[in-house]
């Protein structure tokens, strides 16, 4: 199956991040591969705040890992590449997958938050 066919099959028009993947909603893309996309968070919580997603729709990181472990690995590798490209690797950064309601997940297309650029403290928030 070609990449284009895969994209058409797996775009969910009700999903905000699927619409970003499809180019229907603009985003500031900083990194992309055949299977992943990374773009700046619209409401950054740190000097660098980038979202890394698989192009294919999976609701959360557990669902992604269960359905397609190779794609989960692609997302982790993309997060590392983004951190390197943004100059975060030397001082460190945080990679967060909010999961479910109690985890604060608002967009149910799995995304890793790459946050850094300043000291983040022991936790972002447990409030
Ligand atoms: P979460 O709460 O883990 O589901 O994170 C969702 C993230 O998506 C939040 O940090 C939002 O600021 C971010 N967000 C929402 N809409 C957009 C958008 N159109 N472009 C970029 N980031 C967005
Ligand atoms: Zn989606």
Rounded-to-integer distance, Cα 122 and Cα 111, Å: 21
Q: What is the pLDDT of residue 9?
A: 44
Domain ranges for the chain, please list them. 3-116
How far from the centroid of its chain's Cα atoms is residue 81's Cα?
Answer: 12
CATH 3.40.50.2000 fits 3-116, yes or no: no
Q: What is the pLDDT of residue 13?
A: 67
118 CA to middle of ligand 2, Å? Answer: 30
pTM score above 0.85: yes
Q: What is the pLDDT of residue 103?
A: 95
Rounded-to-integer distance, Cα 54 and Cα 36, Å: 4
Q: How does pLDDT run across 62-119, given as a tens digit for each residue?
A: 999 999 999 999 999 999 999 999 999 999 999 999 999 999 999 999 999 999 999 9
Q: What is the pLDDT of residue 122?
A: 86
Q: How does pLDDT run across 43-76, given as a tens digit for each residue?
A: 999 999 999 999 999 999 999 999 999 999 999 9
Q: Is 113 exposed, middle or buried (0-12, 13-18, 19+ CB in 10 A)?
A: buried
106 CA closest ligand 1 atom index: 4
Q: What is the pLDDT of residue 126?
A: 59
pLDDT of residue 123 exceeding 80: no
C-beta of 41 in contact with ligand 1 (< 6 A): yes
Among protein residues, the one with the nearest Cα to ligand 1's atom 19 is: 42
Q: How does pLDDT run across 3-54, given as a tens digit for each residue?
A: 555 544 456 669 999 999 999 999 999 999 999 999 999 999 999 999 999 9
């Amino acid at each position: 199956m070609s990449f284009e066919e895969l994209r058409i099959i797996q775009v969910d028009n009700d999903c905000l991040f699927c619409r970003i993947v499809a180019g229907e909603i603009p985003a500031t893309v900083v990194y992309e591969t055949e299977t992943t996309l990374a773009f700046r968070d619209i409401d950054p919580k740190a000097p660098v705040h980038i979202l890394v997603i698989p192009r294919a729709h999976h609701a959360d990181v557990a669902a992604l890992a269960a359905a397609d472990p190779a794609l989960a690995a692609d997302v982790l590798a993309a997060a590392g590449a983004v951190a390197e490209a943004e100059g975060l690797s030397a001082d460190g950064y945080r990679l967060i997958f909010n999961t479910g309601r109690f985890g604060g997940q608002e967009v149910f297309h799995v995304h890793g938050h790459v946050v850094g650029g300043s000291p983040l403290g022991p936790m972002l928030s447990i409030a």
